[in-house]
A = this chain, B = another copy of it.
Amino acid sequence: MQWKKVLAGVARAAAFLGLGIILGHSAIPKGANPPAPSASASQDLDPEILETIMGQLDASRIRENLRELSREPHLASSPRDEALVQLLLGRWRDPESGLDSAEASTYEVLLSFPSQEQPNHVAIVGPTGTILFSCRQSEENLTGEQGGPDVVPPYAAYAPPGTPQGLLVYANRGSEDDFKELQAQGIQLKGTIALTRYGGVGRGAKAVNAAKHEVAGVLVYTDPEDINDGRSLPNETFPHSWHLPPSGVERGSYYEYFGDPLTPYLPANPSSFRLDPATASGFPPIPIQPIGFEHAKVLLCNLQGPSAQADWQGALGCDYKLGPGFEPGGMFAGSQVNLSVHNRLELRNSSNVLGIIRGAVEPDRYVLYGNHRDSWVHGAVDPSSGTAVLLELSRVLGTLLKKGTWRPRRSIVFASWGAEEFGLIGSTEFTEEFFCKLQERAVAYINVDISVFANATLSARGTPPVQSVLFSAAKQIPAPGPGSLSIYDNWIRYFNRSQPLHLPSRSVGSLGAGSDYAPFIHFLGISSLDITYTYDQSKTSARTYPTYHTAFDTFGYVDTFVDPGFSSHRAVARTAGNVLLRLSDSLFLPLNVSDYSETLRSFLQDAQLYLEPLLEKHSISLGPLVTAVEKFEGAAVALGQRISALQKGTFDPLQVRMLNDQLMLLERAFLNPRAFPEERYYSHVLWAPHKSFMDTFPGLANACFRAIDTDPGSAAWDEVHRQLSIVVAALEGAAATLRPVADL
């Protein structure tokens, strides 16, 4: 899971828990008696089968899956990653619990690895060239699992090689504003090494921002304040608690886009045209290397210069100063920091594994369910907690299938993606290869990457059409732990505690690009859902689980600290499985298009509140947008009424299919591949990345953000008007798809 991009999505949504409108049509229709189609054509969700599946999902099997999946490090394209491909194929081809078919498909993709011969190295170099201090090159072997050749040393994937040396400065989170602040304080940045902490902006952005100020190299670490609620001592951290040990280092991809970097918009087949890596865009411009807070402390607590402002301070137990350079009276007086990065770009084979259950009635409608397989090290939480759930769910469904008890109405496609950690590469290549087929036929994509962060509550991100089916599922399943609340009621309880004063208009958070759902929603316009179990946000300020992307994310960590007993894993398996069954088996697709009306209305309100006064000054009217939202709302309500009427009367399977096509394809109506040409893959006019913090139409908001300091009549104001017209056209087009099909 690419956490940095999730954060933007979460921050963007007003909140990610809450109430919503549950329309009746997502419940199991009863008493619908079609006139005389064959029995199979009217096949509908069977509540007994659903209950059977819920009952058979087994926590101990998930635990055993996780143990096996996380037994060894399985970095993308490593031998163990390939072994897991075989494991998945074996499970999905099992004669008694497998699927109809399973295949691996392999792409040749550009990955980035540290050199084994020349390890990356961070050192303090004295005035005479003597190395006074070296940061450790690997994490401390605390459990016997952090050593060995398969544990990739901490590094910044796609960071260019180089050996810059210079005075150290402290640059907080490495945002544009952070570097401007240093500049304002008169700190000379040219030729320095900037120490930054994780969070705030994306990984790669820290190097991009630094390079603009002629910084020579960047270090990044995780401050115990941001991950451990301040705890930093060995006896307070793993293996004594779930907190990050002092030597732990977050690995990650520093590539700006997603997908294989050399084959944008094309599947990365061996024969595909490839960009020259030397000219491909999106890589960090200067060397960057992550280190643990144990040694970040040595660097940071010896800096000279003015003290950093309060919100730049952390929990390393000293006053954070800005530099440049070390304290004159200290042990590193006059020293520089040397950063040696020897990463290499390599074309590697990376596989997806796909398993399919053929639909009995509508095999050409695909409900996709996926997670990545590759990890940074053992990856027990990320991603194996999700894969362990995936395997248990496919086992239960496969067993029913092989017994002849059940076959879904629509096809189910299970996917184990490769090379997600490097930038959602396997899933993106898959969407590039099957662009047309998926756009025509995919009902929805369900993503379960990290299935359990912690045991407090369900958390979900998704697009509005899948919100109500998730609610239906979550209401049907008991929450793990004591008490008798449903997952849904427990979720609301947490939501109310963490957001007591504000009810959001949308209850599932919006999708950024933090995991493999990104190409499905942004590139293909397929309604997507990402679910997980997580912690109580009122009790921690951690930006993710503490051992994220470190060598300490192991089976023992999960078994002891994250989810002893695996009841939260089972809860996620049940929730995701329940959603999957409803989408694959319901005669009427449980996609509630009216939930998009809420989103649009909310976006419109923010546009009216924050942008309208500005737009009026430039003679740009929001009137057409208001009209378009109203048309959408009207069409959505009317469609809901038609569905209800049809459910009460008699109908034939073709009528249902036509309505379902309207529901399935609504999300596609928001795609415009020409809307944001500079944003690779982003075509969905409602969910493109935000450059502002307004929760409104992103193209319009971003264009305003760029135009605000330009003169009336500028090209930037033209772009504002163009973006407004783009979103109006998309909403009008979407409303047109919801109206009765024979209306003009």
Per the bound structure, the CA–CA distance linking A391 and B722 in Å amounts to 38
Q: A643 near B: Cβ within 8 Å?
A: no
| Contact A354 B744, CB 8 Å, known A273-B725, A362-B658, A623-B271 | yes
Q: What are the interface flags for A639-655 relative to B under an 8 Å C-beta threshold, 1 for contact and 0 otherwise?
A: 00000000000001110
- CB contacts under 8 Å to B, within A3-51, are 35-38, 40-41
Interface centre among A363, A662, A740 (most CB of B within 10 A): A363
Taking a contact as CB atoms closer than 8 A, the residue among B276, B364, B729 that contacts A433 in the complex is B729
Query: Which residue of chain B lies nearest to A730 when distances are taken between CB atoms in the complex?
Result: B436
Residues B265 and A674 in contact, CB atoms below 8 Å apart: yes
Q: Are A41 and B652 in contact (CB under 8 A)?
A: yes
* Contact present for B654 and A361 (CB under 8 Å): yes
A residues 387-420 in Cβ contact with B at 8 Å: 411, 413
Interface residues of A in 252-296 (CB under 8 A from B): 263, 265-267, 269, 271-273, 276
Q: How far is the CA of A101 from the CA of B435 in the complex (A)?
A: 36
| Interface pair A737/B652, CB less than 8 Å apart | no
Question: For the complex, is A741 an interface residue (Cβ under 8 Å from B)?
Answer: yes
Instruction: Give the segment of A504-512, A530-538, A556-564, A665-673 that binds chain B.
Output: A665-673
Contact A718 B433 (CB under 8 A): no
Known: A440-B665, A729-B267, A736-B434. Contact between A654 and B41, CB under 8 A?
A: yes
Query: Could you tell me if A725 and B272 are in contact, using CB atoms closer than 8 angstroms?
Result: yes
A241 contacts B by Cβ under 8 Å: no
Cβ B437 vs Cβ A654 within 8 A: no
Q: Which residues A335-356 have CB closer than 8 A to chain B?
A: 354, 356
A743: chain B residues within 8 A (beta carbon): 101
Q: Are A100's CB and B38's CB within 8 A?
A: no
Cβ contact within 8 Å between B436 and A734: yes
**Which A residues from 419 to 469 make CB contacts under 8 A with B?**
432-437, 440-441
Counting contact residues on chain A (CB < 8 A from B), the size range is 35 or more
Is A569 interfacial (CB-CB < 8 Å)? no
B669 touches A436 (CB 8 A): yes
Known: A271-B623, A441-B741, A736-B437. A363 touches B725 (CB 8 A): no
A437/B36 in contact, CB under 8 A: no
Q: Kindly report which residue of chain B lies nearest to residue A434, judged by CB atoms.
A: B736
Q: Is the pair B271, A621 in contact by a Cβ cutoff of 8 Å?
A: yes
Q: Any chain B CB within 8 A of the CB of A733?
A: yes
Q: Which residues from chain B contact A266 at a C-beta distance below 8 Å?
A: 722, 725-726, 729
**In contact, A652 and B37 (Cβ under 8 angstroms):** yes
Contacts of A364 in B (CB 8 A): 658, 661-662, 741-742
Q: How many of these chains are in the complex?
A: 2
Chain B residue nearest to A733 (CB atoms) is: B436
In the complex, how many angstroms separate the beta carbon of A250 from the nearest chain B beta carbon?
Answer: 34
Q: Are B436 and A742 in contact (CB under 8 A)?
A: no
- Chain B residue at minimum C-beta to C-beta distance from A100: B742
Interface check A663, CB cutoff 8 A: no
Query: How many Å lie between the Cα of A621 and that of B270 in the bound state?
Result: 12
Complex formed: what's the CA distance from A149 to B391 in Å?
78
Say whether A721 faces chain B, with CB atoms less than 8 Å apart.
Answer: yes
Does the CB pair B653–A436 fall under 8 Å?
no
> Is A103 close to B, CB under 8 A?
yes
Out of B38, B358, B728, B729, name the residue touching A36 (CB < 8 Å).
B38
Most buried by B among A37, A269, A654, A736: A654
Residues of B within 8 A of A359 (CB): 742
Judge if A502 is at the interface, Cβ distance under 8 Å.
no
Contact with B along A81-125 (1 / 0, CB 8 A): 000000000000000000011010100000000000000000000
CB-nearest residue of chain B relative to A683? B673
Min CB–CB distance A703 → chain B (angstroms)? 11
Q: Chain B's nearest CB lies how many Å from the CB of A39?
A: 10
Closest chain B residue to A720, Cβ basis: B273
A382 at the interface (CB under 8 A from B): no
Let me know if A497 is at the binding interface, CB within 8 A: no
A356 to B, closest residue via Cβ: B744
Chain B neighbourhood of A662, CB < 8 A:
364
Query: In the complex, what distance in Å separates the CA atom of A729 from the CA atom of B668?
Result: 21
State whether A38 and B436 are in contact (beta carbons under 8 Å apart), knowing that A658-B362, A744-B356 are contacts in the complex: no
Q: A52 to B358, alpha carbons, bound, how many Å?
A: 44
Give Cα A234 to B208, complex, Å: 75
Q: Does A732 contact B (CB under 8 A)?
A: yes
Given contacts A363-B658, A623-B271, A742 and B653 within 8 Å (CB-CB):
no
In whole angstroms, what is the CA distance A97 to B726 when docked? 39
List the 5 closest pairs (A to B, CB-CB), nearest first: A364-B741, A358-B742, A363-B742, A273-B725, A271-B624
Given contacts A266-B722, A363-B741, A411-B741, 14 further A-B contacts (CB under 8 A): A36-B36, A40-B652, A105-B744, A266-B726, A266-B729, A273-B725, A363-B740, A364-B658, A364-B661, A413-B744, A433-B732, A436-B669, A436-B737, A440-B661
What is the interface of chain A, defined by CB distance below 8 A to chain B?
35-38, 40-41, 100-101, 103, 105, 263, 265-267, 269, 271-273, 276, 354, 356, 358-359, 361-364, 411, 413, 432-437, 440-441, 621, 623-624, 652-654, 657-658, 661-662, 665, 668-669, 671, 673-674, 718, 721-722, 724-726, 728-729, 732-734, 736-737, 740-744
